[in-house]
Amino acid sequence: MLPQRKWLWLIPLGLVLAVGLYFLPPIHERLAWRVDNLRTQINYYFNPPDEAVFQPSQQQVDFDSILATTRAEYMLTLTPPATGTPTPTRLGPTSTPTATSTPLPGSVNLTGFRYEHQHNRWNYCGPANFSMALNFWGWSGDRDVIGRTVMPGNTDSKGQPANTDKNVMPYELQDFISANVPGMTSVLRYGGDIDLVKRLLAAGFPVVAEKGYFEGDALGVVSWMGHYQFITGYDDAKREVTVQDTWNDGPNFRISYDEFMNGWRSFDYIFVVVYPANRDRDVMSLLGPLADEDTAARIALQRAQQESQSLTGMDRYFALFNEGTSQVALDNYADAARAYDEAFTAYAQINSAENQRPFRMMWYQTGPYFAYFYTGRYQDVIDLATTTLKPRPKPDLEESLLWRGRAYSMLGQTQLAINDYRAALKVHPNWFPAVQALQELGLKP
């Protein structure tokens, strides 16, 4: 036994050497994402994320009439000023665009774009889909050109895939276009439907929609996730739309109208049209009543209210959440907060054993943070962000970190706010909102 024992000292030495080798840049950059993925799997196994439930605790306070900063002003703090081609002037309230009454063809199949997937890239459905939307109009870039700008944390120093930033918000992709693609612009609206999609496609304008779908996660469990899809065609006879799916379903994948609408519901039927700036009037005319941003939000709100009365389970939760999202779009923060309160109550009632809760919802949509923050419910902002971040092995959702930091700051907990702002910048390097938040505290990023 003694000869064997004398070699035992090699075990701790081997561990130290292994750790040291792991942190060498060439090795760390290749293995870090695998280690993070393993940590996520272990953490999810012992702390199932769908069991984390946020429960609003604060009384509703209506600060809408006394807030000095309007949402329009505040949104300017979310993104840096665009330096590229300015967004063209929209048709104002003196003009009421109406959708064309020309009969639509029974089917449309747009071509002329370069299909791109998101394989070997983490969370790249946004860059890949918007790259297709741009190259349809002749842009020569690709998913990585977009990704390096909007998701800098998802590429290491050698350009290899990393797994840091979990999502790209639509406004970030719009800002990329405005600042980096001269002559191109985009429009985002809530309240889309199949008829609108058909009208746009028939006129030669493909559509990017953000929707929910079910896919295997890190544990191999099929669960709800958010996903962009580039819509390029439809067929009335088969009642299907054609999408260019960047993940498992691939190019020219067909989805029934009903199935597509069911998935689209979880994002309040949001859509983005990317197009040349000189075609602005054409697009606004095709949008009809949705050309006006407030009208689109009201149409989405009415649909959400109707669906929240008729649907059950997860779909009712989505409808209630959409009520809040549409109210935020209308600057009605008190009404939005009440709708979100009801949505989170409905979320807690979903039987996760039978229908897994969509725990990733706050990865993609931040309306509740706006609603609670602007009604003075700072502790609810903190609690919601903490509930969202807690299942993760490390805090890696920059929007949740930013809003929690803002709420901490409002409550006078400045150091906690600073910690969250800096954590957000680790996820998304040089992210303007977090940089600005630190600068407002007299600190460097």
- What is the 3-class SS of 250-291, one letter each residue? CCCEEEEHHHHHHHHHHHCCCEEEEEEHHHHHHHHHHHHHHH
Kindly calculate the radius of gyration of the chain based on its CA atoms and give it in whole angstroms.
23
Rounded-to-integer distance, Cα 51 and Cα 44, Å: 10
**Residue 41 has which token pair?**
């799997």
Please, are residues 97 and 91 in contact by the beta-carbon 8 Å criterion? Answer: yes
Tell me: pLDDT of 396 over 80.
yes
AA letter at 171: Y
Residue 443 main-chain phi, psi, to 5 deg:
-115, 155
**Looking at residue 91, what is its pLDDT?**
32
Give the model confidence (pLDDT) of 39-73 as tens digits.
555 555 556 676 788 999 876 554 444 344 444 44
Mean pLDDT of the chain: 84
How many other C-beta atoms lie within 10 A of the C-beta of residue 54?
A: 18
Is residue 207 within 8 A of residue 201, CB to CB? The reply is yes
- Residue 5: the pLDDT is 56
Is there a domain that residue 153 lies in? yes
Window from 25-34, 173-182, 336-345, 348-357 with minimum mean pLDDT? 25-34
Confidence tier at 124 by pLDDT (50, 70, 90): confident
d(CA 399, CA 365): 9
239-298, pLDDT tens digit by residue?
999 999 998 889 999 999 999 999 999 999 999 999 999 999 999 999 999 999 999 999
Integer Cα distance of 85 and 353 in angstroms: 50
Q: Which of 411, 388, 391 has the alpha carbon at shortest distance from 401?
A: 388
How many Å apart are CA 77 and CA 240, to the nearest integer? 40
Question: Does residue 109 sit in helix, strand or coil?
Answer: strand
Long-range residue pairs from 382-386, CB within 8 A, at least 24 positions apart, any chain: 382/407, 382/408, 382/411, 383/54, 383/55, 383/56, 383/57, 384/54
272 falls within a domain: yes
How far is Cα 196 from Cα 116, in angstroms, rounded to an integer?
Answer: 25
The verdict on residue 246 lying in a domain is yes
Could you give the CA distance from residue 308 to residue 318 in angstroms, rounded to a whole number? Answer: 8
Measure the CA–CA gap between 120 and 162, rounded to whole angstroms.
10
Residue 343 lies in a domain: no
Structural domain that includes position 144: 101-291
How many angstroms separate the Cα of 444 from the Cα of each of 57, 144, 421, 428, 441?
A: 35, 29, 11, 16, 9
**Contact status, residue 333 vs residue 371, Cβ threshold 8 Å:** yes
Q: Is residue 44 in some structural domain?
A: no
**Is 223 contained in some domain?**
yes
Q: Output the CA–CA distances (angstroms, integers) from residue 68 to 78, 293, 366, 381, 400, in the order listed.
A: 17, 22, 21, 20, 23
Distance of alpha carbon 359 from alpha carbon 372, whole angstroms? 19
Confidence (pLDDT) at 123: 81
pLDDT bucket at 93, cuts 50 / 70 / 90 = very low
pLDDT at 10: 59
Interatomic CA distance for residues 380 and 392, integer angstroms:
19
pLDDT, one tens digit per residue, over 110-121 is 999 999 998 877
1 within some domain = no
CA gap 224, 261 in Å, rounded: 15
Domain total in the chain: 1
Bigger pLDDT: 115 vs 31? 115
CB-based burial of residue 185 (10 Å sphere; 0-12 exposed, 13-18 middle, 19+ buried)?
buried
Q: State what percent of residues in the chain have pLDDT above 70.
A: 75
- At CA 347, angle to CA 345 and CA 350, rounded to 5? 115
| Contact by Cβ (8 Å): 299, 289 | yes
CATH number of the domain encompassing residue 175: 3.90.70.10
Amino acid sitting at position 210 = E
Cα gap 257→428, rounded to integer Å: 36
- Quick one: which of 210, 189, 208, 206 has its CA closest to 291? 189
Structure tokens at 304: 């959400």
As a whole number of angstroms, the distance between CA 79 and CA 176 comes to: 10
